[in-house]
Amino acid sequence: MTTIQPLLPNKLDNPAIVYIVAGHGGFDPIQKEYVTNGKRATHKGAEMHQNGTYYEGWGNRIAADYLAAICREWGLIPIRIHQEIQDTTPDTRSNEIDKYVRKFGSALAKRSVLIELHSNAANGTAKGARIYTTTNNDNSDILESHIRKYIKQLEKQFETFVLGEYKQEKNYTLIAQSSIPAVLIERAFHDNQQDAELLVCPKFNQAQMFAVVLGIIGFLNK
């Protein structure tokens, strides 16, 4: 396994905001239960979140924490929109982002992006990451292309990782309603054991979220 050495973009001279959304609900440590129905997969004998089970909302929050930390290292301002445990509706999250955008003003809105984090599920054999943008939003498409460039390089670092080969446009509620450039990243398929093993790997989480940050900076520097 080789370590990628990406061509790093320049750090930003002006402030920029990254709104971070971890999809679905998390794990309640007091009740010791996952608060979202479904959105999980069990892989017998594998080390997952709990008893061989991967919980999407839990994993999304771990990735979001990596993303926020790396944003800070690179001079970006992360704002977490999701709650630590409970799920909230896309409309609620969209309204909260809009309140921040109005509060900070139009100049900073031009230097803001939205990243929504999920993992995927299908039939247990599908695998890899997917990056979704929305229709009729050129800035979101450009953001997607910058992030894609760096996530694609992870295929050289992690032998079992693949990235879907093309941009996918879907009118998912949160990114479709966004007034700022937005993408939804399905980081891998949690019902595929090889992918799930990546999703619980700290090295992979850090590398994937680092790739996202490099893409954001490249977009903002365009």
Torsion of the alpha carbons at 90, 204, 147 and 124, rounded to the nearest 10:
-60
- 83 found inside a domain: yes
Identify which of 159, 136, 158 has the alpha carbon closest to the alpha carbon of residue 206.
158
Structural domain for 53, as ranges: 17-220
- 91 found inside a domain: yes
- 155 found inside a domain: yes
Domain count within the chain: 1
Q: What is the CATH number of the domain that holds 67?
A: 3.40.630.40
- 6 found inside a domain: no
Average pLDDT per block of 10 residues along the chain, 222 residues long: 51 86 96 95 96 98 98 95 96 96 95 98 96 92 96 97 87 95 97 98 98 97 86
For 76-105, give one letter per residue: b (16+ CB within 10 A) or e: bbbbbbbeebebeebeebbebbeebbeebe
At position 182, the amino acid (one-letter code) is: A
- 7 found inside a domain: no
Cα separation values, 180 from 1, 78, 135, 175, 216, Å: 37, 15, 13, 9, 13
At position 8, the amino acid (one-letter code) is: L
pLDDT, tens digit (0-9, with 9 covering 90-100), for 179-197 = 999 999 999 999 999 999 9
- 140 found inside a domain: yes
Identify which of 111, 107, 106 has the alpha carbon closest to the alpha carbon of residue 18.
111
